[in-house]
Amino acid sequence: MNEMFLLKMGEIVLKGLNRSTFEGRLHSNLNRRLKPYGKFKIRLLQSLVYVEPEEEDCDMDGAWEACGRVFGVAAMSRSRSCDKDMDAILRACKEYLGDGIAGAKSFKVESKRADKKFPLTSIQISQEIGGLLAEAYPETAVDVHNPDYTVYVEVREDRAYVHGPDQPGAGGLPTGVGGKTALLLSGGIDSPVAGYMMGKRGVELECIHFFSYPYTSERAKEKVLDLARLMARYCGRMTVHVVPFTKIQEAIRDNCPEEYFTLIMRRMMMRISEAMAEKLGCMSLTTGESLGQVASQTMQALMVTNAVCTLPVLRPLIGMDKEEIITVARKIGTMETSILPYEDCCTVFTPKHPKTRPSLSEIEKIEAALDVKALVSEAVEGVEPVYIRAGR
């Protein structure tokens, strides 16, 4: 049947002398993501990626779904290739797109002649193929302004390709072109969305998860790993670094005023995450914080939290409200897992009346009761890495 995929690059086409770097990363990402579905030939020419099966038993539906989650692809279409002559193009349109044309109220043909040696212009191709299809499908009207269905014909250097309307791809930039960030990953709704949004900007993720056994269960940890697996479908392979956090939370509970528990806990998390980030070659930290959403995310609280960091702290959700975040969570498939009722370390020892307008000086005085350096060092040494791979 000669079915294949045409993937259209987005922002990559705007790049200059470094465009080949972006294209090379996109090629390698596609190659890795498609391996579970069979052997595919992947070619990048101009602004298109050609994905062709090389074996009869390739899982085309699985591969199509995987391509839709690869950052760097702006639009995509399932296509059929044929010889570069009008009879072959017409035959391919009827055989491959006939059901779509017949099921529509109206249609038109749009053509693109990338091969300027082809004897007909783009307009002439559209006129001839459109006229012949109108004769073949008399129940479907021709409407060149607002058609119900569009037939696309592309005459390229090697072959001609026919396909129906494009579907949106994942967009963004290929994972790996934007460096690495350490994502503070909890079991909630926000942090997986923050990770997805950083992945969409070409950033690789190293995930840091804080685990407070026995206050949080093994099932709660598994929930976070499940979220990482869902994220990996978009963001690619990653490692979840599970940090033992019980001793630190108990030290905070025993030595600090209750209203400061959450803020001091967040500062400890940032210290540990930065230490991990430096070990892992990350250039930033990323959190799922949204301004004003909870007490620890007021402007004053964020300032106090940031004070312990030297690396940039990226907060891609900072201006989003909860409904906007939930919309993205549903889109990427993490929402149902995020709302499973398993405890999170952020809910352990939660103060009844948390401080919302802290000052840095008062926080530093309170923290003097803790052996911060020793607690951070012990936590980093006790980290358990869990490797996550993008699969089916």
Model confidence at 157: pLDDT above 90: no
Average of per-residue pLDDT across 300-315: 95
Q: Stretch 72-90: mean pLDDT, rounded?
A: 95
pLDDT of residue 358: 87
Q: pLDDT tier at 350 (50, 70, 90 boundaries)? A: confident
CA pair distance 171, 168, nearest whole angstrom: 8
User: pLDDT at residue 191 above 80?
Assistant: yes
Residue 388: predicted pLDDT: 95
- Write the CB contacts of 266 (distance below 8 Å, at least 6 apart in sequence): 296, 301, 305
Residue 391 is predicted with a pLDDT of 57
**Residue 136: pLDDT above 50?**
yes
User: What tens digit of pLDDT does each residue of 249-296 get?
Assistant: 999 999 999 999 999 999 999 999 999 999 999 999 999 999 988 878
Q: How many CB atoms lie within 10 A of CB 295?
A: 18
User: Is the pLDDT score of 196 beyond 70?
Assistant: yes
Mean pLDDT over each residue of the chain, to the nearest integer: 93
Report the pLDDT value the prediction gives residue 182, as an integer from 0 to 100. Answer: 98
Mean pLDDT value across residues 204-210: 97
Residue 392 has pLDDT above 50, yes or no: no
Is it the case that residue 312 has pLDDT exceeding 90?
yes
Output the pLDDT for position 347.
Answer: 66
Nearest to 135 by CA among 107, 167, 175: 107
Residue 41, pLDDT > 50, answer yes
